[in-house]
Chain A
């Protein structure tokens, strides 16, 4: 409880009480003293006198003074507030941990504010009335729970920290928050210690497993303030999930968006549903969902371009807007398109150079490996459009069509991947002369050896491709026999890395960055002519991983459809990656991980030359190019309308002293945001005092 004044200047009017006091003193008659005999009879008479009720002048003075005091107070516009709950009623200093539930369910609207705003306001106001020397700390309860402010006695510091808080889009983790709070209280200085939990009691935040580590031995007081009571409206529904598929028609393709909508309301059975593509509203429908039910609604939208799209499905606004929309990504081609150029085609298919390669890249007719190989002969090569492919594999190719090497260079410079496989058809002279810009090494000569002499050297191989294999697989791979290889010489003007060595100290796999793309050279054959590798089980994962590794780019990042707080992974390689968040800020990627995915929306990825140094960027550096997008959505479990009961909370926190308080609402009392105005009652009291004063004067 508190009493504040909107116009405290009027309190100077209290000095006005000196006026009636002066009048009283000036008009007071001088008392005469007399020695009298029958004083006891006077006293008797005074008792019996009907005029004894004649007002005392002191009472009259009191009435006048009260009238002036009340008038001054009324003009100062006093506001009486009940808001200060018993949570802050204490005369002795205390150590208080505020656990602030900043999950997105606290974004629920209550009139013109969110529940989170109410909670912040509650703490801010209470803070001012907390006893001096109290210390405070702040723990945020959204997942992962974290200590936002360690112990401080400085109210302004704490208040500033509070002001900086905004509700997140994360889920709740009360168990961890309480665990952290108890640890904080153990280091608290004051004797009186308590936890003030400000939450909406959303059931999602109270998972039994998160309480297993909470130490309940300390008998701290936990005061729970349930802000969901302030909620003025209900969360009517949410977009639970969105699934996107495409359907191929004769001439075009259809985008099919399947949105799962959940209706939480008990009355509303119809709501509008909108589809946005690239920020534009493209479709809107009214859907019928029985109260409490879930509905899958499908949109069809014709696709004209073969480009990635980002979209959004949205339902009408309700008390909790955060779960009314859901973003989705769409990538027309989700498989890695690989062009396999067979330099030694045979009529008997298994003798062809590409036979094993094609089957290793996609072992089944349906694409499960996300690699889509297309086999082409040299003569068909000119008919192919390289831009349709992410990876080109030249398997035992002797010579390319005239000037086709220029096409390949362009392809690699723009981010394409080029894999070379050797063989008896390979024309080393041609390769060294015409493909000098692509090949990082010079082909020297063929090297032949006896069976069992040449193997891959796989010990201590730290290459990303090889790291994925288990030691057993590597041992199997090491036993593979190689009969023939190409020896190479380094080019002075080219940088390259040797991915794998042969046991005779010759390179087995060489890779080199060229432009945005990559060139990988395997110095033996990709069929069975020079080795046994294609018939070994390890061939399949080996070639797939090299293909996926080489084909880094748009496709593989787009696989990542994340929920809020889930980190985004991207192999940094040599280039520098920059992420633009939905609110427009730029962050360089550090250690291949981007963790700041706390906002739902479309995140843009840019690649930029150079290395990442700065923490934050003001604008995109020159030369940065879009490298795709990824999507972050909220975890809809937080939207489920269930609330946890007091009984359950007590069972979770057994051992701690529990107290359930209710924050004051604006709806229960006609009060301003600061309290109940008392000006009118005070003015009425002034009128009452003047009436009494008039009656007294008349009686005298």
Chain B
């Protein structure tokens, strides 16, 4: 655990501890007591009566009303709950890209910091955080917990990632949609190098189940700009066939292709009301996070 902790930037963790993240669609509070829930449940504040029906808890029957009306009514209270957030981290081979040109952190390193920061932030707000690692299937699943000590589990899970395999994000999301609790939050961190997979359809499914989804699209600058020179043989980190070419020949076209790739995600997310955050590993992580949280805050104020 000590080793795992050393992997994370202490400065980043301390910075993000000051940031607050509030949910946008769900009214549940980011911190306990600060938000009221739309959902009915057991709490201290009465909401309304409801006719008893089998299965309702007997202890919620208002016996006074029974005495007066000879009818069974159940008391309902406004629920005040914590947020359950599942962070989905792409652990496929492509996330392990390390540039031969410069010392930028690999996408996986960057994503780990991101996930750790988000987990810390959420746990600090007493929200439950879980972590799921996937490539073409779910590799590891840590269910959401709100205990402060749970952060150690998260860190442990992150420390043990060894990126490999192909990305089958649509299948994974389809499976998770069944088991994730409704009205929770899903944070998806990936490079989204997915071929012939309909991510939009999967996202639509998640949204329909009342999940709030945030996409963090992490790319390395090499993957955006293709800065290589000379005849090169590109071997795939996943399972694509090897290709030999002079990057200079296709650089311009590649940049267009990757930009189209990003734009299409952005467009799909906007259409579905999904938050999309593009992260370039050359940019400092705290800036990106701060920018996102500020943006979320400004939207709530509206």
Contacts and interface: CB of A to CB of B under 8 A. Distances in A.
Given A36-B97, A38-B258, A40-B240, A29 B253 contact: no
A41 B261 contact: yes
Contacts of B220: 37
A331 B98 CA distance: 123
A34 to B, nearest CB: 6
Contact of A36 (B107, B195, B235): B235
Interface of A: 29-46, 48-52, 54
Given A38-B94, A44-B257, A51-B249, A29 B230 contact: yes
Contacts of A43: 240-241, 243
Contacts of B237: 35-37, 39
B232 interface: yes
A59 B286 CA distance: 52
A29 B231 contact: yes
A60 to B, nearest CB: 14
B53 interface: no
Given A39-B236, A45-B254, A51-B250, A34 B228 contact: yes
A36 B253 contact: no
A31 B256 CA distance: 25
B5 interface: no
A48 B100 CA distance: 26
A39 B240 contact: yes
B191 A37 contact: yes
A625 B261 CA distance: 120
Given A34-B100, A38-B193, A39-B243, A45 B250 contact: yes
A37 B257 contact: no
A31 B223 contact: no
B294 interface: no
A35 B193 CA distance: 15
Contacts of B97: 35-37
B232 A31 contact: yes
B230 A37 contact: no
A166 B228 CA distance: 81
Nearest to B233: A33
A356 B241 CA distance: 129
A43 B256 CA distance: 13
Nearest to A44: B257
Main secondary structure of the interface of B (DSSP, over half): mixed
Nearest to A32: B232
A44 to B, nearest CB: 6
Contacts of B100: 34
B250 A37 contact: no
B231 A46 contact: no
A41 B244 CA distance: 13
B291 to A, nearest CB: 25
Nearest to A41: B257
Contact of B234 (A36, A48, A52, A54): A36
Given A46-B245, A52-B249, A32 B258 contact: no
A37 B231 contact: no
Contacts of A31: 230-233, 244
A45 B100 CA distance: 21
Nearest to B234: A36
Interface string B151-194: 00000000000000000000000000000000000000001010
A33 B250 contact: no
Contacts of B69: none
B242 interface: yes
A33 B232 contact: yes
Contacts of B250: 42, 45-46, 49, 51-52
Q: Which 4 A-B pairs have the closest CB atoms?
A: A37-B94, A39-B236, A39-B240, A45-B254
A35 B220 CA distance: 13
Given A34-B228, A38-B193, A54-B249, 18 more contacts: A32-B233, A35-B235, A36-B97, A37-B97, A37-B220, A37-B223, A37-B236, A37-B237, A39-B240, A39-B243, A41-B257, A41-B261, A42-B250, A43-B241, A43-B243, A45-B250, A48-B257, A49-B249
Which of A29, A38, A46 has most B Cβ within 10 Å? A38
29 contacts: A29-B230, A31-B230, A31-B232, A32-B233, A34-B233, A35-B235, A36-B222, A36-B234, A36-B236, A37-B97, A37-B107, A37-B237, A39-B241, A39-B242, A39-B243, A40-B193, A40-B195, A40-B236, A41-B257, A42-B245, A42-B254, A43-B240, A43-B243, A46-B250, A46-B253, A48-B257, A49-B250, A49-B253, A50-B253
A45 B261 CA distance: 12
Contacts of A39: 234-238, 240-243
B278 to A, nearest CB: 15
A254 B283 CA distance: 135
B99 to A, nearest CB: 9
Contacts of A30: 231
A50 to B, nearest CB: 8
A183 B221 CA distance: 92
Given A34-B100, A35-B235, A45 B94 contact: no
Nearest to A37: B94
A29 B247 CA distance: 14
A477 to B, nearest CB: 119
A241 to B, nearest CB: 91
B223 A38 contact: yes
A41 B250 CA distance: 11
A400 to B, nearest CB: 129
A51 B261 CA distance: 21
B94 A42 contact: no
B261 A32 contact: no
Contact of A45 (B93, B191, B253): B253
B254 A41 contact: yes
B76 to A, nearest CB: 52
Nearest to B220: A37
Contacts of A42: 226, 234, 243, 245, 250, 254
A34 B100 CA distance: 8
